[in-house]
């Protein structure tokens, strides 16, 4: 999913060339994620919908960090965003043992980003949760049956139609599942993932995302 945002200096990489590495949250030079942003942007989970949790709202420095991670492929932000995702998962009241299933990536997104970024962040979240005593693993159990359109400019109804029937879970995980994605907007992508898993016989406990964007 791409977002309709103007090209910033950050995104163009010009600032990187001129000033060296700088913070995705506040653009101060030095590190990709500075100590001040780390202190300011703390996970503050919200229940977006029944059984859908987000670690925070799509605004401010968290929004900037996710944009840098999504659009510029700043992989070093996997760590901080994975921590946020772990907090959203904990907010859902997970069982002691569960499987994390990331939303499948489209070929368009994989080509643009060169990786399945949500899967990588899910792995960081799983490591964090394991250290917290949960027994969890990441299984990319859902695949796309067909490619979907870019959701950015679609209405809620169009989004639902765009993703309906697009996913399949051929080998559903054993045990409770928590579906994860980066951003929840209308919830149609998460609902489709849940449908695919449940048809295959899986039990979905909840869904969790890094941020929740207004509809």
Query: Considering the rule CB under 5 A, would residue 34 count as an interface residue with Zn ion?
Result: yes
Contact between 26 and Zn ion by CB under 5 A: the answer reads yes
Q: Give the 3-state secondary structure of residue 18.
A: helix
Selected binder of Zn ion within 1, 37, 66, 121 (CB under 5 A): 37
Distance in angstroms (rounded) separating the CA atoms of residues 125 and 180: 10
65 binds Zn ion (CB under 5 A): no
Q: Which residues ranging from 4 to 23 are in contact with Zn ion (CB under 5 A)?
A: 23
Q: Judged by CB under 5 A, how many residues of this single chain contact Zn ion?
A: 5
**Helix residue spans in the chain (DSSP H):** 9-12, 14-19, 35-40, 60-71, 78-91, 107-113, 117-131, 156-163, 188-199
Answer for which of 1, 10, 22, 25 binds Zn ion (CB under 5 A) is 25
Q: Which stretch binds Zn ion (CB under 5 A): 13-21, 36-44, 104-112, 203-211?
A: 36-44
Q: How far is the CB of 82 from Zn ion (least distance, A)?
A: 18
Q: Kindly state the DSSP code that residue 25 receives in the 8-state scheme.
A: T
From the list 30-38, 72-80, 106-114, 141-149, the region that binds Zn ion by CB under 5 A is 30-38
Q: Give yes or no for residue 94 binding Zn ion (CB under 5 A).
A: no
Alpha-carbon distance 118 to 105, whole Å?
A: 8
Q: 3-state DSSP: the chain helix, strand, coil percent, rounded to 5?
A: 40, 20, 40
Write out the residues near Zn ion by the rule CB under 5 A: 23, 25-26, 34, 37
């Amino acid at each position: 999913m791409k977002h309709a945002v103007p090209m910033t200096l950050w995104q163009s990489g010009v600032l990187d060339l001129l000033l060296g590495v700088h913070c995705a949250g506040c653009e101060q030079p030095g590190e990709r994620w500075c100590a001040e942003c780390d202190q300011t942007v703390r996970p503050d989970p919200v229940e977006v919908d029944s059984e859908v949790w987000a670690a925070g709202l799509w605004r401010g420095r968290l929004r900037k960090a996710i944009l840098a991670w999504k659009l510029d492929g700043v992989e070093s932000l996997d760590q901080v965003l994975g921590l946020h995702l772990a907090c959203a998962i904990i907010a859902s009241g997970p069982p002691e043992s569960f499987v994390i299933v990331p939303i499948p990536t489209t070929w368009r997104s994989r080509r643009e980003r060169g990786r399945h970024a949500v899967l990588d962040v899910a792995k960081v979240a799983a490591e964090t949760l394991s250290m917290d005593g949960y027994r969890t693993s990441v299984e990319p159990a859902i695949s796309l049956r067909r490619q979907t359109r870019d959701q950015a400019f679609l209405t809620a109804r169009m989004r639902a139609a765009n993703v309906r029937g697009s996913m399949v879970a051929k080998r559903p995980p054993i045990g409770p599942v928590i579906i994860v994605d980066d951003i929840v907007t209308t919830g149609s992508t998460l609902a489709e993932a849940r449908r695919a898993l449940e048809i295959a016989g899986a039990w979905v406990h909840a869904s969790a995302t890094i941020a929740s964007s207004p509809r």
